[in-house]
Amino acid sequence: MVEALDHDPVIRLASAPNQNSTEVLVKIHASALNFADILKVQGRYQERAEPPYVPGLEGAGEVIAAPAESGLTVGDRVAVYAAGTFSDIISVPVEACLRIPDSMSFEQAAGFQIAYGTSHLALDVRAGLKTGETLVVLGAAGGVGLTAVEIGHAMGARVIGLARGQDRLDVVRAAGADLVIDSAECTDLKAALRDAGGVDVVYDAVGDAAGEAAFRALRTGGRYLVIGFAGGRPPVLPLNHALVKNIAIHGLYWGGYTTLDPQVLRASLLQLFAMFEAGQLSPVNGQVLPFEQIERAFALLRSRKSVGKIVLTM
């Protein structure tokens, strides 16, 4: 439970939620951290949470009670997208639950929805990424960045991954990147991307100067995906370039699709689960920690040194 803004969560005992005739009770086995959890603690997230509140936006577990008309039964393994997943038991709407493949672990499922869902909606629905096009992923070793590399590769694109340090670049290359660039050593990203042949789609989870440089490397008709600002601030984009080069700028807030177009969101997740079962996706959990180490988990996320998603097991 977060007791004050800009304060790491502390563990508190509380009564389990009562069974609700319209909601599903889920015993959470694993829950994932997202950059949004940091922003919410700092009071900077677009959906503000007044303390005290239970953090966590996604998790996975086992159904322990469900309405008869829900289609879910006790024992079903589900992924959960709802606020408050850093708890042992959570009561959520039926639509917040989705059965997971038998071959997917709770740890994999816990961090699957937001990261893979964001990248799939961004690349497929918003950008319309085509086979043979060039995709550059900024922050490619991060929780969402790796999923963009994997999905872009599976969609037949040529993928360029930007990350910091050889170890992280090796992970990005293993995820399917055709070319990797070390952000710690690259002094002119725009020139590096143009030398690599130019870019059709930019997947920007970093923002700041890197986002602007990648934007300037877009070809005519390119698409720029605004995913996040892990670099500390939004990029300053030259909109005259967007006009002259017919560049489309797409913002992507995955959670917003729960009201914008829930059917598209659900169809995207089902397609992703099918890709997982077909062996096209291999979720990478950067750190799997016991729930008691929640403060360490937040510190790892803030450091931006982890690879893949940070997951807490209950």
**Predicted local confidence at residue 45, as pLDDT:** 76
The rounded distance, in Å, linking the Cα atoms of 86 and 56 is 5
**Predicted local confidence at residue 212, as pLDDT:** 96
Q: Name the residue ranges covered by the structural domains of the chain.
A: 23-112+283-313, 117-255
**Predicted local confidence at residue 8, as pLDDT:** 67
Please return the burial class of 201, using the count of CB atoms within 10 Å of its CB with bins 0-12, 13-18 and 19+: buried
Q: What is this structure's pTM?
A: 0.89
The total of other beta-carbon atoms located within 10 Å of residue 100's CB is 23
Name 223's Cβ contacts closer than 8 Å, sequence gap at least 6.
Answer: 126, 127, 128, 200, 201, 202, 247, 248, 249, 250
The rounded distance, in Å, linking the Cα atoms of 253 and 260 is 10
Please, are residues 86 and 54 in contact by the beta-carbon 8 Å criterion? yes
Q: Mind listing the pLDDT tens digit of every residue in the chain (314 residues)?
A: 665 566 667 788 888 888 788 999 999 999 999 888 888 888 777 777 788 888 999 999 999 999 989 999 999 999 999 999 999 999 999 999 999 999 999 999 999 999 999 999 999 999 999 999 999 999 999 889 999 999 999 999 999 999 999 999 999 999 999 999 999 999 999 999 999 999 999 999 999 999 999 999 999 999 999 999 888 899 999 999 999 999 999 999 998 999 999 999 999 999 999 999 999 998 876 789 999 999 898 888 888 767 778 999 98
Cα–Cα distances (Å) from 13 to 71, 85, 86, 87, in that order, read 31, 14, 12, 10
For 209, the token pair is 């100067």
Indicate the CATH number for domain 117-255.
3.40.50.720
Indicate the CATH number for domain 23-112+283-313.
3.90.180.10
**Predicted local confidence at residue 43, as pLDDT:** 79
